[in-house]
Every structure is written in C-alpha cells, then in structure tokens.
C-alpha cells in the first residue's frame, strides 16, 4: 500500500548533505522527468504519429530502430546534458555521448526497452544505471560499482523501480499531483517460486542445461520438481521483471546456438546490470547462469550477456544444472537432475 513517501522526499532523506549522493539523486530525478515525458507519448498509442515506425538505422546491437527508440534517447540525453553526468552510454547510440568529463557520474541506459511491443499496447520501459565517472573506462566497470539503478515501466500505471543500494522500492506516478509516490517499500522477492519467464520458441536452440531445467518444470507435479509451474512471457524485460518483484518468479534469457546469440541477447551494462542490482537489493539473485551478473567486468559498452534473475532459490538451482550437465534426454523427462 502507498505510504505517502514521495520520490523527492525519499531521495532527499537518502542523500542528506552528501555531495555525491546529492548528484545521484539529481540524476535519478532527471531520469524520472524523462520518464514522465515518455509515458505521455506512449500513453497516446497510435494517436502519436509514427511511434512504432521503422527507421533506416540500426542501434548499437544491430537491431532495427523504431522512431520512438530514437526519440526517447534524445529526450533523456537532452535532460541530462546540464546535469552531474559526464557521459551517457545508450543502446540507441554506437558511441558514448560525451558532455563534460569533469563531472562525477555516467549513465548507462536503454531508453526504450521492449520496443518490439510499441504498437501492441503492451508495457514497455526505460532502464538505467548510474556509475561513478572513471574516465574512458567508465562503462567497463562491473555492475557492483553502480551507485543507483532502476527502471520505469510504461503500462496501465507508470511505475519506477529504484535502488540506491538501500533496498529496492517501487514508486507509482500519481497523475493528479505529478509526484511519484512509494507503493512498495523494501521489496522482497519470494525465494521460491512456481513461475518462470522464457521465450519458449527458442527451445530448440538452448544448451542441455537450460533444456533440462525447463523440461523439469514442464514435467510438473509428476516430474522431479513435484510441483506445477506456470510460464509467463511479456517480451519486455521491465514488465517481466516487475511481475517477478511483485509475486516472485525467475526470468530466463540464456545464450543459445543461433548465430550471434551465444552470449544471449541482452546487454550487460545497461540491461542486465540495472536488473541485477534491483534483484539483489530485493533479496533475489541474478547470474549469467553461473556467475553473479554484478561481478562480471564488461569488455565494452554494448557487450551481451545471458541473464537468469529473480527468486534466489530458483536462480541457484539453475546454476546447479550448469554445474552438473544432464546425461539424459532433457526435455519432458520423467527423472531430472534433482531427485526427491
């Protein structure tokens, strides 16, 4: 339930008189201002001309850009240009946007997560991580160095999920007042779950460990897990993870055998790292299947990584599937890696 704490009040209390924290709070406030603008655009749907139209360009990962991808990038960059941010690393720009390297912070962001859902009236969002400015190597720091991270979901409600290293909190936009009000304080992801999120259409490309894990879930109460699982998949990372924060579950985007997907599809610095920070601060976990996401040192701004995140016990169980590769035919097997 709402506790009437506004985002501004929360950040002011957290920052106190600390100058660096004050700068981080300022950047979060600007990211949220950008989010309100983007939410208004998204809320107009097809009334907003060319929102989902393809451009002739591709983003840094080689994906086709839509008009709103570019527009949201520009909105955020314009708001951050006179802030404590030295550089912005964005999915929608191949090169870093450089403002002033004397400034103390950098922002890694995906300005529009789930853009394939733009025209389908499905929740999409903005992901961001705030890091200390470490000069030319700012975006190859491990995610453990993040000072703040979070995401904004543009859905039936506009929600901000935020951590500054003091738990994970959810704030909802009150459109009557224009303020973000805390609705979920110190979120805790249930350690156990009966729900997983995965794009099952890629099953034939997965490695044996992922096939074995999902196969054991699909076997249900008659299988080695001895319980029935539900599968959910929105196709917007922010929407799938928001659901997990609220009711538990595990999100899976493994690497697979398709060309270019050996390391998965998601980008480590501005997708996996913010999600991992949020999940860990909520009592969950996030790995690439084996290693904690936040301990991985990215080789470049746009490097990809597999992602397994959510309920801690389930994330750890999946790591065991990778540590002990199955020797059986994995899918729909009656006996699994973990026996009763």
Q: Residue 336 domain-assigned?
A: no
Q: Residue 165 domain-assigned?
A: yes
Indicate whether 297 and 211 sit together in one domain.
yes
Cβ 49 vs Cβ 95: under 8 Å? no
End position of a domain, from candidates 126, 149, 184: 184
Concerning whether 96 is annotated as a catalytic residue, the answer is: no
Indicate whether 180 and 203 sit together in one domain.
no
Indicate whether 94 and 60 sit together in one domain.
yes
User: Among candidates 176, 178, 213, which has minimal Cα distance to 196?
Assistant: 213
Range of the domain at 288: 195-323
Name the binding residues for Mg(2+). Answer: 91, 110, 112-113, 271
Of 30, 68, 112, 266, which is the active-site residue? 112
Indicate whether 153 and 272 sit together in one domain.
no
Concerning whether 95 is annotated as a catalytic residue, the answer is: no
Of 11, 30, 68, 92, which is the active-site residue? 92
Q: Residue 335 domain-assigned?
A: no
Indicate whether 136 and 41 sit together in one domain.
yes
Identify the pLDDT of residue 77. 98
Name the binding residues. Answer: 91, 110, 112-116, 199, 251-253, 271
Q: Residue 1 domain-assigned?
A: no
Indicate whether 229 and 301 sit together in one domain.
yes
* pLDDT single digits (tens) 180-206: 999 999 999 999 999 999 999 999 999
Of 11, 68, 110, 218, which is the active-site residue? 110
Of 23, 207, 256, 271, which is the active-site residue? 271
Residue 197, classified by CB atoms within 10 Å of its CB into exposed (0-12), middle (13-18) or buried (19+), is buried
Indicate whether 269 and 222 sit together in one domain.
yes
Q: Report the predicted TM-score, pTM, of the whole model to 2 decimal places.
A: 0.93
Q: Residue 128 domain-assigned?
A: yes
SS3 sequence of the chain: CCCCCEHHHHHHHHHCCCHHHHHHHHHHHHHHHHHHHHHHHHHCHHHCCCCCCEEEEECCCCCEEEHHHHHHHHHHHHHHCCCCEEEEEECCCCCCEECCCCCCEEEEEEEEECHHHHHHCCCEEEEEEEEECCHHHHHHCCHHHCCEEEEEEECCCEEEEEECCCCEEEEEEECCCCEEEEEECCCCCCCCCCEEECCHHHHHHCCHHHHHHHHHHHCHHHCCCCCCCEECCCCCHHHHHHHHHHHCCEEEECCCCCCCCCCCCCEHHHHHHHHHHHHHHCCCEEECCCCEHHHCCCCCCCCECCEEEECHHHHHHHHHHHHCCCCCCCCCCCCCCCCC
User: Among candidates 301, 331, 254, which has minimal Cα distance to 143?
Assistant: 301
Residue 22, classified by CB atoms within 10 Å of its CB into exposed (0-12), middle (13-18) or buried (19+), is middle
Identify the pLDDT of residue 108. 98
- For residue 222, the surrounding DSSP H or E stretch is none
Name the binding residues for substrate. Answer: 113-116, 199, 251-253
Q: Residue 331 domain-assigned?
A: no
Indicate whether 61 and 150 sit together in one domain.
yes
Cβ 263 vs Cβ 255: under 8 Å? yes
Concerning whether 47 is annotated as a catalytic residue, the answer is: no
Of 7, 11, 68, 69, which is the active-site residue? 69
Identify the pLDDT of residue 269. 98
What's the structural domain count of the chain? 2
Of 91, 207, 280, 288, which is the active-site residue? 91
Identify the pLDDT of residue 2. 76
Concerning whether 100 is annotated as a catalytic residue, the answer is: no
- For residue 225, the surrounding DSSP H or E stretch is none
Indicate whether 58 and 25 sit together in one domain.
yes
Q: Residue 337 domain-assigned?
A: no
Residue 225: how many other CB atoms lie within 10 Å: 19
Structure tokens at 330: 């994995």
CATH number at 310 reads 3.40.190.80
* pLDDT single digits (tens) 85-110: 999 999 999 999 999 999 999 999 99
End position of a domain, from candidates 152, 184, 216: 184
Indicate whether 39 and 173 sit together in one domain.
yes
Of 23, 113, 280, 314, which is the active-site residue? 113
Concerning whether 33 is annotated as a catalytic residue, the answer is: no
Within the chain, which residues score under 50 in pLDDT? 329-330, 332-340
Identify the pLDDT of residue 106. 98
CATH number at 63 reads 3.30.540.10
Q: Residue 125 domain-assigned?
A: yes
Indicate whether 30 and 58 sit together in one domain.
yes
Concerning whether 17 is annotated as a catalytic residue, the answer is: no
Indicate whether 163 and 235 sit together in one domain.
no
């Amino acid at each position: 339930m709402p506790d009437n704490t506004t985002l501004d009040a929360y950040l002011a209390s957290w920052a106190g008189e600390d100058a660096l924290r004050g700068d981080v709070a300022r950047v979060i406030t600007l990211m949220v201002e950008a989010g309100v603008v983007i939410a208004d655009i998204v809320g107009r749907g097809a009334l907003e001309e060319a929102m989902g139209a393809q451009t002739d360009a591709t983003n840094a990962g080689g994906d086709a850009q839509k008009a709103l991808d570019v527009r949201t990038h520009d909105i955020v960059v314009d708001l951050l240009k006179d802030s404590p941010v030295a550089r912005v690393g964005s999915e929608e720009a191949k090169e870093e946007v450089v403002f002033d390297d004397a400034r103390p912070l950098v922002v890694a962001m995906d300005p529009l997560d789930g853009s394939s859902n733009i025209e389908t009236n499905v929740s999409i969002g903005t992901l961001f991580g705030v890091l200390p400015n470490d000069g030319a190597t700012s975006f190859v720091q491990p995610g453990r160095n993040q000072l703040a991270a979070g995401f904004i979901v543009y859905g039936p409600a506009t929600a901000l999920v935020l951590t500054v290293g003091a738990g994970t909190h959810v704030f909802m936009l009150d459109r009557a007042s224009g303020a973000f009000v805390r609705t979920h304080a110190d979120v805790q992801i249930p350690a156990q779950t009966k729900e997983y999120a995965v794009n099952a259409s890629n099953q034939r490309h997965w490695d044996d460990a992922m096939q074995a894990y999902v196969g054991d879930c699909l076997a249900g109460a008659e299988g080695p897990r001895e319980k029935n699982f539900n599968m959910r998949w929105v196709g917007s990372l922010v929407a799938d993870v928001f659901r997990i924060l609220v009711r538990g579950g595990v999100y899976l985007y493994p690497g697979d055998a398709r060309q270019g997907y050996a390391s998965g599809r998601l980008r480590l610095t501005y997708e996996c790292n913010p999600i991992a920070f949020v999940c860990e601060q909520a009592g969950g976990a996030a790995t690439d299947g084996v290693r904690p996401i936040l301990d991985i040192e990215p080789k470049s701004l746009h490097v990809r990584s597999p992602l397994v995140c959510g309920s801690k016990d389930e994330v750890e169980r999946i790591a065991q599937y990778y540590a002990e590769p199955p020797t059986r035919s994995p899918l729909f097997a009656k006996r699994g890696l973990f026996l009763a």
